[in-house]
Amino acid sequence: MRASEHAPYDLRIASGGDRFPVAEERPALSWKPPLTWSGQDGYDLQLRVDGVERSVENVVSARHLFVDWPLPPLRSRQSVAWRVRTRRGGRSSGWSPWHAFESGLLDRDWSARWISPQEDGEGSRPAYVLAGSVDLRGDIAQARLYATALGVYEAFVNGTRVGTAELSPGSTSYGDTLYAQAADVTALLRGGGNDLEILLSDGWYRGSAGTWRKRDSWGTTTAARLQLHVRYADGTEAVAVTGADWTSRRGAVLAADLMNGQTTDFTSPPGAARPVLVDAVTAPPISWSPAPPVRRVERIAPRSVTRHGDGAWIVDFGQNASGWIALADLGPAGTRTVIDYGEHLDATGDLTTTHLDSRRPGEAAIPFVQRDEVVSAGRPGEVFEPRHTVHGFRYARVSRAVDPASIVMRVVHTDLRPTATFACSDDDLNRLHEVARWSFRGNAVDLPTDCPTRERLGWTGDYQIFAPTAARLYDVDGFSRKWLRSVRDDQLDDGRVVNSSPDANRLKVHDEPMTNGITGSAGWGDAIVLVPWVLYTTYGDTAALAENWPAMRRWVEWALATARDARHPSRVERSAEPLAHEEFVWDGSFHWGEWLEPKKRAADGSLVDPVMSDPMAWYLADKGEVGTAYLFRSVRTLADVAQVLGHAGDAARYRETAERVRRAWQTEFLDAEGRTKAGTQASYVRALAFELVPEELRERAARHLVGLIDAAGGHLGTGFLSTADLLPVLADSGHPGVAYRVLYQRSSPSWLGMLDRGATTIWEDWDGVSEDGTATASLNHYSKGAVIRFLHTHTLGLRQAPGSAGWESFEVAPVLDEAITWATGTFDGPRGRIAVGWRVEDGHLTIAVDVPGGSEARIRFPDGSTFHTGPGSFSQRCPIN
CA 847 to CA 838: how far, in whole Å? 4
Query: Angle at which helices 542-565 and 624-645 pack, to 10 degrees?
Result: 140
- Based on the number of CB atoms within 10 Å of its own CB, is 331 exposed (0-12), middle (13-18) or buried (19 or more)? middle
First and final C-alpha spacing in the chain: 43
Alpha carbon distance 686, 221 (integer Å): 46
Burial of 804 (0-12, 13-18, 19+ CB in 10 A): middle
Residue 186 DSSP one-character state: G
Cα–Cα separations (whole angstroms), residue 728 to 626, 652, 791:
19, 30, 10
Handedness of CA 642, 648, 650, 653 (dihedral sign): positive
Q: How far apart are CA 288 and CA 270, in angstroms?
A: 34
Distance, CA of 443 to CA of 826 (rounded, Å): 23
For residues 17 and 182, the answer to whether their CB atoms sit within 8 Å is yes
* Cα 850–Cα 852–Cα 853 angle in degrees, nearest 5: 145
Say if residues 221 and 277 touch (Cβ distance below 8 Å). Answer: yes
* Whole-angstrom distance, CA of residue 157 vs CA of residue 198: 9
Handedness of CA 436, 442, 448, 452 (dihedral sign): negative
Give the active site residue among 455, 582, 625, 808: 455
Phi, psi of 148 (to 5 degrees): -160, 175
DSSP E strands, 8-51: 9-13, 16-17, 21-23, 29-32, 42-49
Element (H, E) at 144: strand 140-150
Helical (H) or strand (E) element with 342: strand 336-342
* Sequence-separated (6 or more) residues with CB below 8 Å from residue 97: 1, 7, 9, 11, 83
Q: What share of the chain is helix, strand, coil (3-state, %, to 5)?
A: 25, 30, 45
d(CA 732, CA 702): 10
| Element at 546 (helix H, strand E) | helix 542-565
Q: Do the Cβ atoms of 668 and 581 come closer than 8 Å?
A: yes
User: Which SS3 state, helix, strand or coil, does residue 846 take?
Assistant: strand
- Report in angstroms the alpha-carbon separations of 339 from 251, 277, 837: 21, 34, 46
- Write the CB contacts of 779 (distance below 8 Å, at least 6 apart in sequence): 320, 343, 344, 355, 759, 761, 763, 764, 768, 769
Tell me whether residue 771 is one of the annotated catalytic residues: no
Best CA proximity match to 632, nearest among 544, 693, 718: 693
Residue 53 annotated to the active site:
no
Q: How far apart are CA 417 and CA 293, in angstroms?
A: 11
Report the C-alpha gap between 760 and 665 in whole angstroms.
39
Query: DSSP assignment of 770-798, as one string?
Result: -TTS-B-S-S---GGGGGHHHIIIIIS-E
Burial (CB count within 10 angstroms: exposed 0-12, middle 13-18, buried 19+), residue 240:
buried
Contact 439, 786 (CB under 8 A): no
Phi, psi of 668 (to 5 degrees): -85, -35
Catalytic site residues? 455, 764
